[in-house]
Structure 1
Amino acid sequence: MANSRVSWVSRGDINAFFGLILDNIAVLLVLLTTITTALPFAEQQAKGQFGFTQEFVLGHMIPGTALGVLVGDLVYTFMAIQLARKTGRSDVTAMPLGLDTPSTFGMAFLVLLPVLRRACLDGSLTQGDHDKAMLFTWHVGLVVLILVGIIKVLLAPLGNQVRKMIPRAGLLGSLAAIALALIAFLPLVNDGIAGVPLIGMASLMVILATLVAHRRFFANIPGALAALLVGLLVHLVGMLVERLTGIPMVPPLRMPELAFVSPVLWPFGDGDSAWWMSVWTEALRFLPVALPFALATVVGGIDCVESAAAAGDEYDTRGVLLTEAVASLLAGVFGGVIQTTPYIGHPAYKKMGGRSGYTLATALLVGLGGLTGAFVLLEAVPKGALFPILVFVGVEITAASFLVTPSRHHAAVALASLPALAAMALLTIKSIFGITDPSTPFGLATLQTLRCMANGFLLTSLLWAAAMAFMIDGRMRMAGVTLVVCSLFSMVGVMHSPLPDERVAWPWAALAEVPPAYADAVRYQTPWHWSGAYLLCALLVFGLGGTGELARYPESVQG
């Protein structure tokens, strides 16, 4: 029986709030640390490594991004209150929504940084001006997010059909690839966890013990908050020991300059029609990046609704999907660059005792922090204390990809990780050498091969795993068709482009743009070679479709 006076807040909302807010803060810190730099522009040019100023990111990208979380979590809070009143229950838990971790890494490394570098080096539009290059890149990023939002709005009513059409190994395989190779790995290096192991490993161990092994922390402190507190404590003790003994222990805390950043929430007042035509042209090149992320959040949203239903809270699937799609679209319109997504952890938040208060508090804190520039305070948080949550997210996404995929498709999920490993290797090389070319023929060939494997890796992962899953299921014709699609994408550089920064071009134009130093290195891996290779694979698969199949191992053995 309906009851309009049911309680929608509980003490459990405190634990749930810290879990959800720290997830979002970790994602924002990733965005800030991966795309910003304090180097003067002249020094960036000399090193060939370009970044945004912190002020630009806080004033232009973060406000719209935070607005998406604000809108999405407010709507989910309202939906939970309505469900509680409709059912007369006081234990309804709101669907958690936050920033999508995989696409944060994708936007940073596959869109924003490559476009910024090209805009800084190509003076035809920005005249080599850093401020104009940052503005142009921001506009490209928000248009890519608008495209993601439009795709999700269109797919939201068709979520179940999309889920049935594309093998789960394809969708989750590409997601597992970026989760393992980027989300879980990158926080380990540089000045993250492995860079300062005293802090990072201590916090990581807390995360693994509480969130993976499900051990209770002292005083029932939530695992994510406990990891942050342990990391901060170790850092402070390490600083004290270093001061007393002179032995290097931990890097000094960086105290940010507190200054109000005026948010820019309407990006369309800058630039003329030619400028925006160039922005849209550039943004459309990144559809191979946008499409897999949009598909993943739509299918993931359905999984979130199902997990909530299993926990006792029946939400309308279309309403959940449309809410996060519109939230992403609004974020892009107002200058955001990261999409929102419902989080899979609804049952965990329900177990914590969360109701609707935790999503309301998250919406308000993220919204206010983004609109006031208060997230500059994140600079004072040791990365080693906050980044372990990202390792957990990456490992959990990878593990879940195997758990919810039929065991006969596990090989397809693993196969999807290979292109992402190439992207990880290429990012590592770029971070060390910048745009400096290795001098040896072997080094040139190796870097060119990594480039071809890494360019378009999300779509490559999706299609490789889909073809593998089709073959495992005996659907050889569909596998062959998938490989023909790969051939077409490779021909125009959507996959395996030989050019830096995933540039798409007709094969003859692409080969004309290959730097002279790489002429020999690209000799046997041109778009023609890649396209022909996939056609050959398709012919083989079509042929094998008529040969019958060998006896299969039992499902338990395959798993």
Structure 2
Amino acid sequence: MPASAPRSPAPARWFVPGDLNGFFGLVVDNLSILGFIAMALVGMFQFPAEVVFGRMFPGTAFGVLVGNLAYTVMARRLARRTGRSDVTAMPLGLDAPTSIGMALLVLGPAFWTFRNLGMDAHAAAIETWHLGMAALVIMGGLKLVLSFFGEAVTRALPRAALLGSIAGIALVLMGLLPLLETLKSPVVGLLTLGLLLYVLIAMGRLPVRLPGVLVAFLIGTALYYLLGLSGLGVPGFAVPTFTAPHVVLPWPSLGFIDGMPHALPYLPLLLPFGLLMVVGGINVSESARAAGDDYRTRDILLVEAMATLVAGVCGGVAQTTPYIGQPAYKHMGARSGYTLLTGLFIGIGGMLGIVSMLVQWLPLAVLSPIIVYVAIDITTQAFEATPRQHAGAMVLGFLPSVAYLLLIKAQGWVPADRMDYLLATPDAHGLSEMAVIKLLGNGFIITSMLWIGAVVAMIDGRLLRAGAFWLVAAAMTLFGLIHSVAAGGGIYVPWQVHGLPRTMMLQFAGAYLALAALMWGLSRLHRAGPAEPVQGTDGT
């Protein structure tokens, strides 16, 4: 009797019990980011809510749907190819740092700029929406190109520069600004934050078998409405206006073309945002591979890029990314069903208005603490994932983010005519303090990456490489990619700049050229022979 042919492995199940845990975790992550976008735009910048929920959110949610469906298909193909039933899909969602950065650093300030030009709130919101679409298309296009060269980019920039620049945003902007919102309702905010710190940082266990983040959201929201309705300690409490779910289909449009001219001045922010997601995609692919799921890195990056492009063309304003927690979802027992469920819930819920309705009813004091935790986690990971000797370089890279924070706040504290005077009036020691804050804040992410890269190269003894970073900084200064002297912080060509702004531009560019020359001179000195040790005052 002939030997029977080997049996093909049974197809992987669509859903397993662990997919429910993964679904709750991934959905809460995405809802919290959408909630913060709404909080920042509507609450902080007085953006019209109907544009946020009716125009921006459907396309943003559609990008999550497209990306999660693609990752679900990739997981099932990998399971069939390997004959394994324990393959876990790559989780995809809205990227917290860059989504929050888009709201705080691009969309909100752009809306104010349009309002200052005399537009009414609705018209300014539509222009800002088109700008956001264009920004997403720019970042998606960059990610699409870098999908084929991502590893070369990571070799050119040290890990400290990539992680340190985003950690500066996390600590200074994502940490402090949401913390201020948290403390506006201290009882609700601190309790929610404390519970999140207990389950996420202290790894404490709760007496219920539910995801800790979900429990914190439920308790915080219940407490907020209980205290608010009873009049016991929620200042300014008001029950949100109920908006019945309605269908808003994210049809493709050419609105991003209208927004492209307005988006170009924000390139110093958008390009690092896209680059960081490529690096993140490479890192999460390695993380999944270490956990046993060997996804092709280029495929992970291409899906991420296409999901972002689709979202931008369909009206989205926040980019998607694969999440670093794939091994954690595998540990939960999740397989491929949780990404399918998440994509359908967020995507279809966004089209039907269900996601917008949920976000409107989540209080700011409950949403903000999760962003504070994300800021802590990003900063901690930056230090843990980089060599210890590079820590000082990363700390230096945080300082441009502080300047940008001061620049944001100064615009609300200092009248416009007074601001012009402060910028144009030097003090006894050189440029005015406000001018330095403005120039250091403009293009702060790229500035941070270049500063960290140069100092890391110095630490490693690669002085010519450090000089190259300073030369790049000088060139970028001349075109406004960093230290822009333009009124709106945009890019330009050097011969268009005149007067005091030209002087400031040339001083910063000259300073970087001097640093590059110093690195070149020191490198030649070191090649000529080891320096004599400096004798201390105690004779050692």
The answer on whether the counterparts of 2:30 and 2:93 sit within 8 Å (CA) in structure 1 is yes
1:318 and 1:474 map into 2 onto residues whose CA distance is: 33
Q: Which moved more, 1:107-116 or 1:194-203?
A: 107-116
Equivalent residue, structure 2, for 1:193: 182
Counterpart amino acid of residue 131 in structure 1: H
What is the total number of aligned residue pairs between the two structures?
A: 517
Equivalent residue, structure 2, for 1:400: 381
Equivalent residue, structure 2, for 1:85: 80
1:442 and 1:338 map into 2 onto residues whose CA distance is: 33
Equivalent residue, structure 2, for 1:45: none
Which residue among 352, 364, 382 is the counterpart of 2:363?
382
Q: Which moved more, 1:367-376 or 1:289-298?
A: 367-376
Write out aligned runs for 1:543-554 (5 A): 543-548=521-526
2:240 and 2:422 map into 1 onto residues whose CA distance is: 45
- State the shift of 1:326 in Å: 0.6
Deviations 1:506-557 (A, max 9, x none): 4564556xxxxxx7xx79x7112211111111111222223337899xxxxx
Confirm or deny that 1:463 pairs with 2:450. Answer: yes
Equivalent residue, structure 1, for 2:476: 489
Which residue among 256, 264, 267 is the counterpart of 1:287?
267
Q: Which moved more, 1:308-317 or 1:498-507?
A: 498-507
Which residue among 229, 235, 241 is the counterpart of 1:256?
241
Equivalent residue, structure 1, for 2:398: 417
- State the shift of 1:349 in Å: 1.4
2:325 and 2:29 map into 1 onto residues whose CA distance is: 11
- State the shift of 1:8 in Å: 3.9
Deviations 1:12-61 (A, max 9, x none): 22222221111111111111121226xxxxxxxxxxx9643111122221
2:320 and 2:531 map into 1 onto residues whose CA distance is: 44
Counterpart amino acid of residue 252 in structure 1: F
- State the shift of 1:386 in Å: 2.3
2:10 and 2:345 map into 1 onto residues whose CA distance is: 27
Residue 76 of structure 1: SS of its match in structure 2?
helix
Equivalent residue, structure 2, for 1:351: 331
Residue 341 of structure 1: SS of its match in structure 2?
strand
What residue ranges of structure 2 are gaps of 5+ in the alignment?
A: 1-6, 426-431, 534-540
Q: Which moved more, 1:541-550 or 1:12-21?
A: 541-550
Write out aligned runs for 1:177-256 (5 A): 177-189=168-180, 192-239=181-228, 242-243=230-231, 248-249=233-234, 251-256=236-241
1:434 and 1:200 map into 2 onto residues whose CA distance is: 32
Q: 1:384 to 1:499 in 2, by over 3 A?
A: same
Write out aligned runs for 1:4-153 (5 A): 4-36=10-42, 51-122=46-117, 128-153=119-144
The answer on whether the counterparts of 2:133 and 2:315 sit within 8 Å (CA) in structure 1 is yes
Q: 1:5 to 1:96 in 2, by over 3 A?
A: same
Q: 1:31 to 1:511 in 2, by over 3 A?
A: farther
The answer on whether the counterparts of 1:477 and 1:542 sit within 8 Å (CA) in structure 2 is yes
Counterpart amino acid of residue 256 in structure 1: T
1:249 and 1:257 map into 2 onto residues whose CA distance is: 20
The answer on whether the counterparts of 2:35 and 2:362 sit within 8 Å (CA) in structure 1 is no
Confirm or deny that 1:533 pairs with 2:511. Answer: yes
2:364 and 2:305 map into 1 onto residues whose CA distance is: 30
1:53 and 1:121 map into 2 onto residues whose CA distance is: 16
Equivalent residue, structure 2, for 1:515: none
The answer on whether the counterparts of 1:8 and 1:90 sit within 8 Å (CA) in structure 2 is no
Q: What is the TM-score when the length of structure 1 is the normalising length?
A: 0.86
1:34 and 1:415 map into 2 onto residues whose CA distance is: 28
Equivalent residue, structure 1, for 2:3: none
Residue 98 of structure 1: SS of its match in structure 2?
strand
The answer on whether the counterparts of 1:264 and 1:335 sit within 8 Å (CA) in structure 2 is no
Residue 173 of structure 1: SS of its match in structure 2?
helix
Residue 93 of structure 2: SS of its match in structure 1?
strand
Deviations 1:409-459 (A, max 9, x none): 112221111101111222233344575736985998443322111111111
Which residue among 133, 136, 154 is the counterpart of 1:163?
154
1:308 and 1:269 map into 2 onto residues whose CA distance is: 37
The answer on whether the counterparts of 2:266 and 2:490 sit within 8 Å (CA) in structure 1 is no
Residue 493 of structure 1: SS of its match in structure 2?
coil
Q: 1:488 to 1:175 in 2, by over 3 A?
A: same
Kindly report the root-mean-square deviation, in angstroms, between the aligned alpha carbons of the 2 structures. 2.7
- State the shift of 1:230 in Å: 2.2
1:110 and 1:424 map into 2 onto residues whose CA distance is: 10
2:519 and 2:172 map into 1 onto residues whose CA distance is: 29
What residue ranges of structure 1 are gaps of 5+ in the alignment?
A: 38-48, 513-518, 553-559
Confirm or deny that 1:336 pairs with 2:316. Answer: yes
Counterpart amino acid of residue 89 in structure 1: R
2:132 and 2:195 map into 1 onto residues whose CA distance is: 35
Deviations 1:322-355 (A, max 9, x none): 1111101111111111110000011111222212
Q: 1:178 to 1:446 in 2, by over 3 A?
A: same
- State the shift of 1:225 in Å: 0.6
Q: What is the TM-score when the length of structure 2 is the normalising length?
A: 0.88
2:415 and 2:95 map into 1 onto residues whose CA distance is: 28
Q: 1:22 to 1:511 in 2, by over 3 A?
A: farther
Percent of matched pairs sharing the same residue: 41
